[in-house]
Homo-oligomer: A and B are copies of this chain.
Amino acid sequence: MSAAGRRAGIDVGGTKVLGVVVDPDGSVVHQVRRATPRDPGPRGGDAVLDAIVEVARAIGPYDRLGVGVPGLVTFDGVLRAAPNLVGSDQLDVARLLAERLGHAVEVESDNTCATLAEWRLGAGRGVDDLVFVGLGTGIGGGLVLGGRLQRGRNGFTGEYGHMVVDPAGPRCPCGQRGCWERYASGAGLARLAREAAEGRRAQRVVVLAGGDPEAVRGEHVDRAAREGDEDALAVIDEFARWVAIGLVNLTNALDPARIVVGGGLSHAADLHLGPVRRWFEQLLYASASRPLPEIVVAETGELAGALGAALLADERGRATPSA
């Protein structure tokens, strides 16, 4: 099988390393996945690199390879802050992978990759000003302005999760208080539900969580809401308001044509998106005097990061050697 025009992308997530090979038209030819090394100790970076190399060898052949990793990633492909990859902080991913694989590799943050995938192949197609927000365990994203993917001065755009939306709010592992991802992530939804449970305002949700308020997760809220439970719908409305606050802040600053929401929310979009849009219109500055950006759900799903990584080499406009 020829590698002509085939690009490979690998996405390193918290639980799995996912590789894809795509044809020049963007269609996925092949997928491979391996578990992300768990608790690998101080030499965790090596274990992560081993897993990437294993996936790269399993998905070939390809012409070019891009890799998405979670954290701040410099233009040279060095991981600067990687709270979810033990032992990988300051890891020179691009250089070390190139040594092991024998060819150049493009490395970017997973969220920048996902933004690129949604812009080129997903729900962000056709617009020049796009905000992508991934609402997962935390929140990350990226942006396209003026028809170009924007990486900022260091490659660190899109750290939306650590926008402070309540300086007196709950402590974030990053050290601050009231970061947006304390409210608008999967973890945020679960926290809002637990708070409701403590106030005995989410009894059905607690039942679905096996009777233990501490075991409540977002999926229990969503399930109760689908049953029509009023308490669960109230929790979702509160959650939607927090989601909207962040999207409003980004829209006031960036005036996008479209906002693409991926991650956890996209799995329950039928429940969440209506309330988010309603709060968004209510909270946006001068919303009656302006066109509102579309708020839509991501289309590339769990492949977003890997697909975007496969597109990186083209986006950067420079070739990498053949594999």
Contacts and interface: CB of A to CB of B under 8 A. Distances in A.
A85 to B, nearest CB: 13
Count class of interface residues, chain A:
35 or more
User: Main secondary structure on chain A at its contact with chain B?
Assistant: loop
B165 A283 contact: no
A176 interface: yes
Given A167-B245, A250-B253, A253-B250, A285 B153 contact: no
Interface in A248-295: 248-250, 252-257, 283, 285-286, 289-291, 293
Contacts of A37: none
A315 B7 CA distance: 37
Given A146-B145, A166-B167, A245-B164, A256 B153 contact: yes
Contacts of A129: 152-153
Interface of A: 72, 80-81, 89-90, 127-129, 143, 145-146, 148, 150-160, 162-168, 174, 176, 179, 241, 245, 248-250, 252-257, 283, 285-286, 289-291, 293
- Per CB-CB distance, the 10 closest pairs between chain A and chain B, nearest first, are A152-B255, A162-B285, A81-B286, A153-B257, A156-B255, A163-B249, A159-B252, A81-B289, A145-B150, A80-B289
